[in-house]
Amino acid sequence: MSDTRTTSDAASGTGTGGGGADPTRAISRRRLIGTAGAAGAAGLVAGAAGGSAAYAATRPDEPTALATVGSASVAFHGAHQAGITTPMQARGHLVALDLAPGAGRREAAALLRRWSETARRLMAGEPAGERDTGVALDAGPSALTVTFGFGRTFFDRTKLAARRPSALDPLPAFSSDHLDARRSDGDLWVQIGSDDALVAFHALRTLLKEAGDAAHVRWQMNGFNRSPGATARPMTARNLMGQVDGTNNPRPAEPDFDRRIFVPAKPPTGTPDWMAGGSYAVVRRIRMLLDEWEALPVDRQELVIGRRKSDGAPLTGGTETTALDLDKTGPDGKLVIPDNAHARISAPEQNGGAAMLRRPFSFHDGIAADGTPDAGLLFICWQADPLKGFVPVQRKLDRGDALSAFVRHEASGLYAVPGGPREGEYVGQRLLES
């Protein structure tokens, strides 16, 4: 798969001179290499399965070598772009750009060519070129991914409106929206993810410099997740409300995963051939009203979500992965999972099987003017068709989700993300040079 992680062998520790070996470095080369190699194998499994197994230590009584975090790499070339099924990374940057006045198809092609070569180098852990700033000089690739997408307006600016997918029609308005147009949409969209903050920043800075006079930044958002190895075992991430978030994500091992998430090799009517292997990203900046949320007792929070806060299991019992029993009632005759609980309303079986791959980052941008935390979720979801993935679920949530009282949708974007480039290609070449 295009975004499979690999891990190089770690360097061995050495003893100190004089009075004998330093006990903090007394790990044999064989043991350290074995740890790194096993972590690399875990990375291969995780890349194929889309889970978080890449972050597991090889044995509970042996620490993972620090070098394994930095040496993990993700392939730039492949059937799909990296950063879609790649396991969630610790640091992320989202940025949208608009083409400069007068820039069109030729300038866009030149920009995507430069960006693709730069992304290929950085994802391989190589310097960006002669003008590399050296910010990430001491680090490996750290699972860096760079993903490129096109907004609806990109096709007007490049005079390619006839090749714009119908799936890029504007999203419908939702009653819970409080959207800021200055932080929404954009001709071009770039998603950067890495397990190291400096590596992610270096990629962001380098790509923005490469944009030159061809495009200018419309908006930028920065996010984070838990760091690899921060938990005793691999687990689904938690959001800033403290909830286990992403339990029902479709998984690549499921037989219908590709059909739900990626445009097929022979795209359906209304989808141009250049989108084969691609996907559509819906991006939403969702502010969490944390003061109000944290004032609720945990048992009230669980009723809003429909799951236990401690482990993400349904209120109807079992473990995190146990199916919701949506018909179960308690001694009082009421539904155990309330009819307006978030887990109930967003469940695929409640939405005609609609599914999307959620791959978010949390954000915290300081304190807002009203004194409340400006924090929440940079929601990113992937699907083969947003009208069959995001839209029906969001419409249902908009009509009666108990969680809506504690969140505010403040920005939105929809982007066509073409398939991964072949060797020697740049992202979007099949569109821009057709």
The set of catalytic residues is: 245
360-369 LR contacts (CB < 8 Å, sep 24+): 360/223, 360/239, 360/245, 360/246, 361/88, 361/92, 361/94, 361/193, 361/223, 361/224, 361/225, 362/223, 362/224, 362/225, 362/239, 362/240, 363/221, 363/222, 363/223, 363/224, 363/285, 364/240, 365/222
- In which residue are the tokens 């920065």 written? 222
- In which residue are the tokens 């075992």 written? 233
Bridge-partner residues for 357, per DSSP? 382
Q: Measure CA 422 to chain center.
A: 22
The candidate with the shortest Cα–Cα distance to 187, out of 284, 279, 99, 275, is 99
Give the torsion sign (CA, 272, 275, 277, 282).
negative
**Alpha-helix residue ranges (DSSP H) falling in 181-328:** 197-211, 257-261, 290-294, 298-305
Tell me the C-alpha distance between 386 and 404, whole Å. Answer: 21
Bridge-partner residues for 74, per DSSP? 5
**Alpha-helix residue ranges (DSSP H) falling in 15-140:** 29-49, 67-71, 105-123
> How many Cα atoms occupy the beta-carbon half-sphere of 158 within 13 Å?
30
Give the torsion sign (CA, 205, 208, 210, 212).
negative
**Alpha-helix residue ranges (DSSP H) falling in 212-355:** 257-261, 290-294, 298-305, 342-346
The answer for residues whose C-beta is within 8 angstroms of residue 44's C-beta and 6 or more apart is 4, 5, 6
Bridge-partner residues for 416, per DSSP? 150, 280
